[in-house]
Structure 1
Amino acid sequence: MADPEIKSYAPHHESQSPAVTESRTARTVLMIVTFAFLGIFLLLPLIIVFKEAFAKGIEAYTQALSEPDTRSAIRLTLLVAAISVPLNVIFGISAAWAIAKFEFKGKAFLTTLIDLPFSVSPVISGLVYVLLFGAQGLLGAWLKAHGIVILFAVPGIVLATIFVTFPFVARELIPLMQEQGNGDEEAALSLGANGWQAFWYVTLPNVKWGLLYGV
């Protein structure tokens, strides 16, 4: 007597409506809006940049690359990246390791601080740097008296770059380390490894691809 009930239940289960209930028109409108937004705010500026760069021909573009101002800008960019990226890697690994592997007071606060650059406008962060290090800022008089220049100089550019980019490495590693748990590290410690060896030979290889993506 149970067989007919099972047979009658199976077709009913298979004929259930899909989870997506939006009409074809609604989905089409959403896709058009999404692609239009990406086109206007991402692709169009990129196209204009390349159009203006090559507006006078490839010769003018090549000649512009050889100008002193251009070479100086490229050197500055590479210098800031060479300083910011290693610092972000060190901070990101340290913060992710602490948050994912340990329990301590202030853990939630540290996580909030890591997300801060995602919620604060770069304009606001720039204003904060001006209020701190500007001529009329909180530390401006002291910096001027000691001949230290931060704003409109390499230190200011490095600080701003680090601020807006430091969450990326940490945010890639934290969920990855949390998902992996502490089992591998505990096994390494039980076999006689110290904390540094467990990190270097166990933790770091397990997160190398996430670290590379964050960098």
Structure 2
Amino acid sequence: MRKLPGLMLAAACVVSQPALARTMNVDFNTTPGADGKFGTGDDAAMPAQSYPGWIREELAPAGIHFTDGNMVRSAFFDGNARNVFLSAPTFGAYFDRPVYGVSVDTFAKWGATLTGFDVAGNVVATDSFVNDEQQYAYAVLALSGRAAIYRIAVHADHPDHILNLDNMVLTVAPVPEPAQYALFGIGLAALGIAARCRNKKLA
């Protein structure tokens, strides 16, 4: 039983740590290799040109499939002539595995809305950016929550307006809720009480 206090202390330290979400960063400049991960040795440059072209299955190894949208290589978004970003009135993508958060940078003269859908196609979250000034501006569209997101869509506030998107971040694992930590703590307390009772019986 001497090991129990040490085990409880270690577990308490784990519980006290902040809940960190696991994320996937997609900058559209590279495509993942067979390992399906960004930032590893088998990544390849995104096959984008200086004029808009379709984006569809380029990110499929990472479980990301686009159903709508174009990509372009240009300095327009951030001043880097080699930067690849998405540019079109609408974008659509679905995921092989659910995500629990999505954020994407936008740079445009227009407003935009990001919508997340569950596996049945129901809307689970939305976020909008309103640009009344109609001047080029940066903004971040973001969705988060406990609901699993299997598909996303981004629409400009008018069918003829062009959106520019880059730097998508996907939360690929849910963050544990405080209630889960509370239950774990209660379990540890119960172990401690049981240990004390056993020690009293042995005394």
Structure in which a larger fraction of residues adopt strand: 2
Normalising to structure 2: TM-score of the pair? 0.20
Higher gyration radius (CA): 1
**TM-score normalised per structure 1:** 0.19
- Which protein is richer in helix relative to its size? 1
